[in-house]
Copies of this chain bind each other. A is one copy, B any other.
Amino acid sequence: MQNNIMAKAEEAIAAAAKAQEAAELSQFTVNNLWILVAAAMVFIMHLGFAALESGFVQRKNVVNILFKNSMIIAIGLLTYCLCGFNLMYPGFAEDSSGFFAFAGFGLTVPEGGMTSAYADYTYWSDFIFQAMFAATGATIVSGAVAERIKLVPFLIFATLFVAISYPITGSWKWGGGWLDQLGFYDFAGSTLVHSVGGWAALACIILLGPRTGKYTSKGIRAIPGHSMPLAAIGVFLLWFGWFGFNGGSVLSADPALTSLVFTTTSIAAAAGAVGAFVMSYGMFRSYDLSMVLNGILGGLVGITAGADIMSITDALIIGFIAGLIIPLSVTMFDKLKLDDPVGATSVHLVCGIWGTLAVAIFGDCDGCGSLVAQLTGIAAIGAFTFAFAFILFLIIKVTLGVRVSEEEEEIGLDIGEHELAAYG
């Protein structure tokens, strides 16, 4: 009888253990699924960028943008596979200074199996989610240098930038490197992704010079984009994708965190639209669609660094200020004769810095995100990225050349580089 009962009790323990395992597998499955769905949403951001940038350039340079952005996502995925992932998540050695390490070329499933390396998702989920982020930096540059850059030199720049520079600075924080140890906080990449793209864009447009006829003795000539519907489609798709960008950066489907992040992200985007509306009306007395669209993006970039640690009111303020910044920043870059046809530097660099600083101002994460840490991160990543991009682009400039001829610029890159008009 006692043996009988003992057997029953042990049967119960075994059954409970089995149920526990089943519950944990289910939890793992839902967490992993969210990372994959989020990766697909981040992928759609590449369509968002392609549409936005196409819409904001002239009709004669549209094929060129679409070609560049199609190749960037392709090259970005392949180089991240080849070396980027292992540069960004190298597993710094214990005594490492956390500046640089490299886990080797190519991808190999860890020894323990593809579901062994992480608590909440598989090796491949980690790779594909991060890989979708990687090309974003180069895509940001693509818009800023549009309408005058040579195709192949740009693709070479983009390849090396995505393969080397982006993952190295990324490793400093997300790879567990020195900035992470310092307490620098950047939840989903206001600095690591957006300002990195923005710094590279800045370096390139300095070296490339403005579009012919943009800055004349008579003043600044407005060169409006050729399709506002395309631009608007781009911005809405970017907002949609941002739910995956920020929401997936929770790195699990944790209900409290993901739902907070969806909310802060949305509220910041909405407040960005209103901020840009107010400031652009104040500055220009007009209802400026491109400012409102960029205001939405500014709000999204601004909230990205701290989307998981902000209250709704914080998110509203951060987004609203980002929206206010956009018209000011666009005007400032134009005054500096830094020609950026799509406003990428204002959106990604300026609002990226703002969002990273906002963590120090509003954020509340134990022992991290101090003003010193945030400024150090902004400065270090900015200095490295700007220097890398500047030197690389300079080398390409003096060797291959980076700028199309004035005649080609005049007839447009679509015919000049691709012998194809965007519209028939």
Spell out A's residues near B (CB within 8 Å).
1-2, 5-6, 8-13, 15-20, 22-37, 39-41, 43-44, 46-47, 50-51, 54, 58-59, 62-63, 66-67, 70-71, 73-78, 81, 106-107, 114-115, 121-125, 127-128, 131, 151, 224-230, 232-233, 235-237, 239-240, 243-244, 247, 253-256, 258-260, 262-263, 266-267, 269-274, 277, 286-290, 292-293, 296, 312-313, 316, 417-424
B residues less than 8 Å from A20 (CB atoms):
15, 18-19, 22
Q: Chain B's nearest CB lies how many Å from the CB of A235? A: 8
A259 touching B423 by the CB < 8 A rule? Answer: no
B residues less than 8 Å from A233 (CB atoms):
47, 51, 233
Q: Chain B's nearest CB lies how many Å from the CB of A55? A: 8
Q: Chain B's nearest CB lies how many Å from the CB of A42? A: 11
Q: A24–B23 Cα gap in the complex (Å)?
A: 7
Q: A277–B419 Cα gap in the complex (Å)?
A: 15
A262 touching B125 by the CB < 8 A rule? Answer: yes
Q: List 18 A-B contacts (CB under 8 A).
A: A1-B2, A19-B20, A25-B27, A29-B30, A33-B258, A36-B243, A36-B247, A39-B262, A40-B41, A40-B240, A47-B233, A47-B237, A47-B240, A54-B229, A71-B277, A73-B270, A75-B274, A81-B267
Q: Chain B's nearest CB lies how many Å from the CB of A246? A: 11
Q: A292–B267 Cα gap in the complex (Å)?
A: 36
Most buried by B among A27, A40, A256, A286: A40
A260 touching B12 by the CB < 8 A rule? Answer: no
B residues less than 8 Å from A424 (CB atoms):
58-59, 224-227
**How many chain copies?**
3
A274 touching B28 by the CB < 8 A rule? Answer: no
B36 touching A296 by the CB < 8 A rule? Answer: no
Q: A19–B2 Cα gap in the complex (Å)?
A: 26
Name the one of B8, B125, B423 contacting A228, with C-beta atoms under 8 angstroms: B423
Closest to A10 in B: B8
B residues less than 8 Å from A35 (CB atoms):
259
Given A11-B13, A29-B31, A125-B255, is A50 in contact with B236 using a C-beta cutoff of 8 Å? Answer: yes
Q: A59–B46 Cα gap in the complex (Å)?
A: 26
B residues less than 8 Å from A273 (CB atoms):
70-71, 74
Q: A267–B106 Cα gap in the complex (Å)?
A: 13
B residues less than 8 Å from A423 (CB atoms):
59, 226-228
Q: A76–B39 Cα gap in the complex (Å)?
A: 28
Name the one of B5, B37, B67, B240 contacting A43, with C-beta atoms under 8 angstroms: B240
Name the one of B26, B128, B271, B272 contacting A30, with C-beta atoms under 8 angstroms: B26
B residues less than 8 Å from A290 (CB atoms):
420
Closest to A6 in B: B5
Q: A312–B127 Cα gap in the complex (Å)?
A: 11
Q: A106–B124 Cα gap in the complex (Å)?
A: 40
Closest to A237 in B: B47
Q: A78–B121 Cα gap in the complex (Å)?
A: 34
Given A59-B424, A422-B229, is A289 in contact with B27 using a C-beta cutoff of 8 Å? Answer: no
Given A66-B289, A70-B235, A70-B296, 14 more contacts at CB 8 Å?
Answer: A8-B13, A23-B25, A23-B26, A27-B29, A30-B33, A33-B255, A36-B247, A47-B237, A51-B233, A62-B229, A70-B232, A71-B273, A74-B270, A289-B418
B residues less than 8 Å from A125 (CB atoms):
255, 259, 262
